Every structure is written in structure tokens, then in C-alpha cells.
Structure 1
Amino acid sequence: MCSFNKISAAAAALACAFSIGAAQAAQTRVMVMMSPGFEEGETVEILDVVRRGGSHVDAVSIAGEYVPGAHNIVIKADRVLSMEMKDLKDYEDYDMIVIPGGWTGTDHMVADKRVIELLKRYSKANKFIAAMCAGPNALAKAGIIKGKRITAYPGPKTEPFYTGAIYDPKVVVRDGKLITSKAPGTALPFAFALVDALGGDSATIKKRFYYDELKAWPDGLKRK
């Protein structure tokens, strides 16, 4: 049975009436950052799947409680990041920080001193840091990907940021406690990787999603 305690509008839209792997990940806390122009599909899938994995997940906005996405879908945040640098300590008690993609949203993250400082603190504390699509640009700005294996959305808007990193074109790449993923279409495998990293059971969620059956899906759609 699903427990919707202070769930965001985004997660409520997709959340199912069950939580998977709660025993494994009940004590973990995850902060998913949001900024105007964020990629909605990526963000909602992360919120949904990681909550199903049993973690406490907060959508944290850097600019107001209601956040418009890249395609004008507005999502209500669970928390709003304080404007004061001295208050960042109140956001350091999570086990993982996640930066979704979206070009405009990522640009805001890269330019935000609070976000960059949080990323530096999480790296120094050896906590999980995850980003996908254009999101790793913020990690590069924080100086925490040098010598690390990463993946990200390829192209001129991202690749100049990754000097010093080792780019790997795989769908999801994990290097220690750094987890990155490639594009909107890789949001589900990325979210499953986050669940597993936090000690949850992504295999059970995949089974409920019929995720592994997607391999045969394109052939099933062909007209005879």
C-alpha cells in the first residue's frame, strides 16, 4: 500500500500503490534539485522510482516552490533552497544529491553558487552525487569530475565542460559514488542505478514495470 506523505505533485502523478525495497533503503535520504527549465521526464522518473525503492526523496527547488519545466509543466517542490549560503548546512543531511538535465535548468544550476557549493561539500563528504543529460555540467563547474569516468548528453553544449574527465558513452556510468547518465531516454535505467546504489532492490521494481520486456517491444509494434 502506498504512503503519500508530503509527496510532490510530480511524483503523485506517477506513483503507484506500492513501495519496493523499503527495508533496504529506508534510512537513505535523497535530494533531487530543480530549477526553472529542468527536464520534466527525467526528474519525475527519478522522484518516482527512487521513492519506490524506499528512500525519502525531496524535490528541492533553487527558485520558488512552483517550478516550471522545459516544456512548461509546473511541479511543486518539497523544499526551497535557502538564499543564504550560511543555511546550506540544513541541506547536508542527505545521502545523495541528484542533478537532472534540461538545458536552461542546467544553466541555472551552473550559475548558482549555492548549488556548486553543495556539490563540493557532498564530494568532500564522500556522499553520492548523481547527474544526467546536461546535469553533469554543474558537476564540472564544481570541479568534482576530474579523472572520473562520466557520461552525459553529447555535443557542444556539454563536451567543453568535461576536460579532465574520462567520457564513457554508456547509458549509465558509475565511478565510486559518482553516477551519471546520458539523456532523457535513459532516465529509467539511471533511476534504477540510484536505487541499487542506495541499497534498494531495483530488480523488483523492474519486474513490476515489465521493464525487461522492452527489449522485444519494437518488434511487437511492426505491422504485418
Structure 2
Amino acid sequence: MACNANMMHMLGVCRTARLTSSIALPLGADKIGRGFYTSLSSRVKFTRKICASLAQAKPSASGMASTQKKVLVPIGFGTEEMEAVILIDVLRRAGSDVTVASVETDLQIEASRRVKLVADRPISACTEEMFDLIVLPGGMPGSSRLRDSEILENITKRQAADGRLYGAICAAPAVALETWGLLKGLRVMCTRDGSEVVKHEYNPVEWSFAKTPVVLVPIANGSEEMEAVIIIDVLRRANIHVVVASVEETLEIVASRKVKIVADKLIEEAATSAYDLIVLPGGMPGAERLSNTQSLTKLLREQAESKKAYGAICASPAVVLEAHGLLKEKKATAHPAFSQKLADQSAADTRVVIDGNLITSRGPGTAMEFALAIVEKIFGQEKAISIAEAMVFPYP
């Protein structure tokens, strides 16, 4: 199968081998039996398709005693962190036993936008295991690092030869699977989700900064990893200086679906600096841990009093901002499970809400729109669209 340069960053693939009779492609494509493909803009949809295929697959030999499906997600230096974390998070939500394996010499890797992720084990420790699914995140040079791992190549080739599920997204199908000869006879499809971003702005004010904006993203044990990583990734794509601060006693935190993330510094050190924007990921009990961190809530109060920008997503608008009086006379939204805690619920059904210097959003499924809306407020719509197009995400 020939892959041109555009396909390198657009296509994704999951081969279903003989384990399912058919899978429906996006855009009403015909049944194809042996595989489906998706684009970078459909990460969560891609993972949902994988979950559906995985549900129909027979358990691996090592997992015959349990209905829990075993999944391998390899990562390397330069892996696209959003793709890796979304795959891990959603598959774990679906009940899969997900192993995150590093193809590097260390368990900790630095992803494409400098988010530090910690794998569960080295890829060398996976050679004797049988997996129901192996799925490769993309990103560059991450896809090349996966491709160059002889151990991963052998594991994936054995997976294909045994007729078990394997898949990839973004650059990984072309860079890794094609190089390994695992796309022969499979059709490739690049799709684009046509849904619109839904946001509303009240009391518009200009967010302007004299220099490169500095943004604080605090994280805690139990933070929602998709939200945290998407915010960090997108803002760094916009060349914003993002400081990731742990409110725990260590730099490494374990997020809500057990993804391990390493912060840049502890909150006590971060609290000595000033920020143009402070933005909180959600997740439970992560939001509660942020709310109970005195140094962070002090920073947030000072941010609001100085009329500087701040924001939150998912549970955090209610659990942190509302709880500390930081939504007074403000329109906001939150995750549906927490929106009833908002004093003003008139905008609670909107995906992204901006009110002056405050921005809030609803959850993992709105995190991309949330992050791009921040970029738009800081740099304008043209910059946000440019970043969205590079990710094959429709905006606005």
C-alpha cells in the first residue's frame, strides 16, 4: 500500500483480522470485514471503535480465565501524548487491562509536547505475554521510535500472524505498520468530523500579554489525564510556556485512569511565580485534591482579584472554583455530574463558556475545544484554526 506525505499524519488503522465479521467505517462506508481506519481528529471515536471490536474478540490464551481484555500501548520519545493518553484512558474506562510499555531504556519518556509519561514496564518485559489488542499511538519522532523497536515489531508481527487485533493512529500506521508489512490488503480511509465547536462568550474582554504567555496547569493524583494532557499539548503547540505543577509531595502523579504523569515542579515552587492564566483539569478525586491545596487556591484568588485569566474543566469549575467563591456573578459550565453544584446553571449545557477572564468547559470530550478556545482568546482565531488543522481537528 502506497502512503503519501499527507497520509503520514492523517491516517489511523485498526485491523480486526478474523475476530469480527464487519466494522462500519465513518461516513457510511461499506463493511470491510478486516479493518477500519480513522483520522487524527477522531481519536475518541477511533478508540470507541477499538472497544467495540475488542468486545467481540475472543480472549487471548493468557486471559482465558478472565473476560477482561489485555491491551498493549507502547510509547517512546516523541509519542503524541494526547493520542496515547486518550487510548489508555478510554480503554481502561471500558474495563480493559492496559499495559503501557516503553520502547526506551527508561520507563519515563518525554512525549512530543514535552509531557512526561511513565510506562508500566519496558517493552522487553512483554515478549512472553499474549494481548487481545496492540495499539500504537502516533506522533513524531515517536512513531519512528516504535518502528525501530525490534522487540515491538516482533510482538506486533506475532499478533498479526495469530489473527489478533492490532491498530495504530496518526503517523504510526504509515511509519510503523507499513514498514513492518502489516498493511497489505487493507484499505485506508482518512475522515474528518464535521461537528461544530459550541461555545459562548459573555462580557467579552481582551486577553493580551506583553510577552510569551505563561500558563500554570496544576495536577494531582486522580486528575483526568485526557483533560490535563490535551490542555498542555495544545497550549504548547501554540508556543505558550506551560508550567505543570504537582500538588502532591512528589512530581509524579497517578491520574484517574492510572496514567503516570511527571510534573515540571511542585506547587509550592510554582506558587512563587506569576501567571497569565491558571487552568485546572478535572477528574475525581483530582479536583478535590486541587481544591484542598491552600497554595493553589491562594493563587487562584489572587488571579481573580487581579482580573487575570483563569479556567477549569469537568468537575473543577464546581469542586474548586465554585467552592472557593471564584464563580461569583460568572457564567460557567461543568461536567453534567457536577453542574448542579453551580450557583448559576444558565450556561451549564454549553460545551465551552467564556465570561470575561474566566473560561470553563464540560469534560474530556470538550477538552480539545476548551484548549483551542484558550489559544483563540490569547492569539486570535486564525492561530487556533491553524493549530486545529495541523491536528486534523475541525475548528471553529
Q: CA deviation at 1:26?
A: 6.1
1:220 corresponds to = none
Match of 1:61 among 215, 224, 246: 246
Q: Deviations over 1:10-59 (max 9, x none)?
A: 5xx98768xxxxxx996100000101000001110100000001100011
- Give 1:33's aligned residue: 218
Counterpart-to-counterpart distance in 2, 1:9 and 1:15: 14
Q: Tell me, what secondary structure is at the counterpart of 1:70?
A: coil
Aligned length, in residue pairs: 197
Does 1 or 2 have the higher relative contact order (CA < 8 Å, sep 6+)?
1
Change (3 A) 1:62 1:15: farther
Q: Which residue among 115, 138, 160 is the counterpart of 1:8?
A: 115
Q: State how far apart, in whole Å, the 2-side matches of 1:14 and 1:75 are.
A: 18
Give the secondary-structure state (helix, strand or coil) at the position aligned to 2:258: coil
Counterpart CA distance in 2 for 1:38 and 1:184 is: 11
Structure 1 residue ranges without an equivalent (≥5): 18-23, 216-224
Matched, 1:190 2:370: yes
Task: Report the Cα distance in structure 2 between the residues aligned to 1:212 and 1:25, rounded to whole angstroms.
Answer: 30
- Counterparts of 1:63-212 in structure 2, within 5 Å, are 63=248, 64-82=250-268, 88=271, 90-91=272-273, 93-136=274-317, 137-155=319-337, 157-160=338-341, 162-164=342-344, 166-199=346-379, 201-212=383-394
The 1:121/1:181 distance shift into structure 2, 3 A limit, reads same
Hey, what does 1:221 align to over in structure 2?
Answer: none
Q: Deviations over 1:98-118 (max 9, x none)?
A: 110101000111222222111
When residues 163 and 75 of structure 1 are mapped into structure 2, their CA distance, relative to the original with a 3 A threshold, is same
CA contact (8 A) 1:8 1:78 kept: no
**Contact conserved, 1:25 with 1:198, CA < 8 A, in 2?**
no
1:101-155 deviation per Cα after TM superposition (whole angstroms, max 9, x unaligned):
1010001112222221111010011111010000112111221101111010023
Partner secondary structure for residue 217 of structure 2: strand
Aligned residues: percent identity?
Answer: 30
- In the TM superposition, residue 202 of structure 1 has moved relative to its aligned partner by 0.7
Q: CA 1:96–1:179 in structure 2 vs 1: closer, same or farther (change >3 Å)?
A: same
CA RMSD of aligned residues (A): 2.8
Q: Secondary structure at the match of 1:94?
A: coil
- In the TM superposition, residue 171 of structure 1 has moved relative to its aligned partner by 0.7
Contact 2:234 2:372 survives alignment (8 Å)? yes
Q: Which structure has greater helix proportion?
A: 1
- Distance, in Å, in 2 between the alignment partners of 1:188 and 1:203 is 12
Contact 1:101–1:132 at 8 Å: present in 2 too?
Answer: yes
The alpha carbon displacement at 1:168 in A equals 3.1
Distance 2:306 2:358 in 1: 12
Amino acid of the structure 1 residue aligned with 2:281: P
In our comparison, the structure showing a higher alpha carbon Rg is: 2
Cα 1:193/1:14, change in 2 over 3 Å: farther
Letter in 1 for 2:279: V
Q: CA deviation at 1:198?
A: 1.9
Q: Report the Cα distance in structure 2 between the residues aligned to 1:25 and 1:47, rounded to whole angstroms.
A: 21
SS in 1 for 2:285: helix
Kindly indicate whether the alpha-carbon contact (under 8 Å) linking 2:113 and 2:233 is maintained by their aligned counterparts in 1: no
Distance in structure 1 (CA, Å) of the matches to 2:304 and 2:345: 15
Which residue type is aligned with residue 230 of structure 2? E
Amino acid at match of 1:195: V
SS at match of 1:202: helix
Which whole-Å CA distance do the structure 2 matches of 1:164 and 1:181 have between them? 14
Distance in 1 separating the partners of 2:291 and 2:340: 15
- List gaps (5 residues or longer) in structure 2: 1-77, 79-110, 118-136, 142-208
